[in-house]
Structure 1
């Protein structure tokens, strides 16, 4: 396994947890991350994200594990189409209902064609994927007011259900990108490489 030269660490602000991503961005992005959270139940999320040189997603591998259960997901994109592979051990839905939460539902998607048109992935609770459209579309160098409406392959955590998600990225200034989804909006503070420094209501960079 190749080593990765950069480390980015976020502290969750919406729940107790952290997200550590090791990245190599010399030719597109190769990242491996480990995230922890306590909401809705304690779990650890491990992911590997690879793009091509244009920062278009090639594949995303995710595993989410808690007490007595484990789910895995692989998303692969080739020739504009997505392939989705999942597996499950234990019973996440039972654990959630015992803790007083609604069932999570099945991982993956039964209709991968619904993801047609998506180039980027979005992993719930992880700030790293926000960098994909920022870099792919050159938003760091775009004038204020530049806006793009995108369809994302949105991975819910901890269920690993995959949904198409319409999102809008807009340039506020050279270090602020506006993110909007379904009536929710946030001004993302980013560094000179497009990695999130502050995601209001979700996470803040510590390293």
Structure 2
């Protein structure tokens, strides 16, 4: 069964907004979204995200518009786990399953759903490597992240010195991500 929804976040970290049109199945996620931000400098993003089975990233296409011009990123992961960005191999991401679009609460959804962290019956921590995409420059680099189930609908996210307790809805989508974003009412 596929569920479709539109979600909008007030992204305080970028002093902007993100809207995503999301389609979820019991095993995949597809989304297209738009971002308008004013910090660290004004930019617009348009993206399309596609996962394969187990919510593993297949492709993230992003266009960033800034005063300096337009940048594009085509980030792909093939069935063998090989990543490439705009045709350039990224062997340092070989163990990564997820992309993480900077300042976007949407991309936290894939690891949450894969490990059922929003419904898990008890505590558990999952360490993973992601293909982190910096915005608005669209640079891709590895990022070690930790997701810990705290309670139904609550997950602790940590990467380096940064950590936050996420509040999630029953579909695994972020409602509140302190210091980053808060979802607006539907």
Same fold (TM over 0.5): yes
List aligned pairs for 1:32-51, cutoff 5 A. 32-51=32-51
CA contact (8 A) 2:118 2:168 kept: no
Q: CA deviation at 1:141?
A: 2.9
In the alignment, what sits opposite 1:118? 96
CA distance in 2, matches of 1:173, 1:182: 23
Q: Deviations over 1:136-171 (max 9, x none)?
A: 122223233200000000000011110100000000
Q: Is residue 153 from structure 1 mapped to residue 131 from structure 2 by the alignment?
A: yes
1:181 paired residue among 146, 149, 159? 159
Q: Which structure's residues are more often strand, by fraction?
A: 2
In the alignment, what sits opposite 1:60? 60
What is the TM-score when the length of structure 2 is the normalising length?
0.92
CA distance in 1, matches of 2:68, 2:132: 25
List aligned pairs for 1:85-104, cutoff 5 A. 85=86
Q: Is residue 18 from structure 1 mapped to residue 50 from structure 2 by the alignment?
A: no
CA distance in 1, matches of 2:164, 2:14: 17
What is the TM-score when the length of structure 1 is the normalising length?
0.83
CA distance in 2, matches of 1:15, 1:80: 31
Number of residue pairs matched? 181
Q: Is residue 5 from structure 1 mapped to residue 9 from structure 2 by the alignment?
A: no
Structure 1 window deviating more from structure 2 (164-173 vs 8-17): it is 8-17
CA distance in 2, matches of 1:171, 1:6: 24
In the alignment, what sits opposite 2:174? 196
Paired residue secondary structure (1:139): coil
- Calculate the aligned-residue CA RMSD, in Å: 1.5
CA contact (8 A) 2:13 2:103 kept: no
Q: Where does structure 1 differ by over 6 angstroms across 4 or more consecutive aligned residues?
A: none
The higher radius of gyration belongs to 1
Q: Which runs of 5+ in 1 are unaligned?
A: 87-109
Paired residue secondary structure (1:160): coil
Q: CA deviation at 1:39?
A: 1.0
Q: Is residue 141 from structure 1 mapped to residue 140 from structure 2 by the alignment?
A: no
Q: CA deviation at 1:111?
A: 6.1
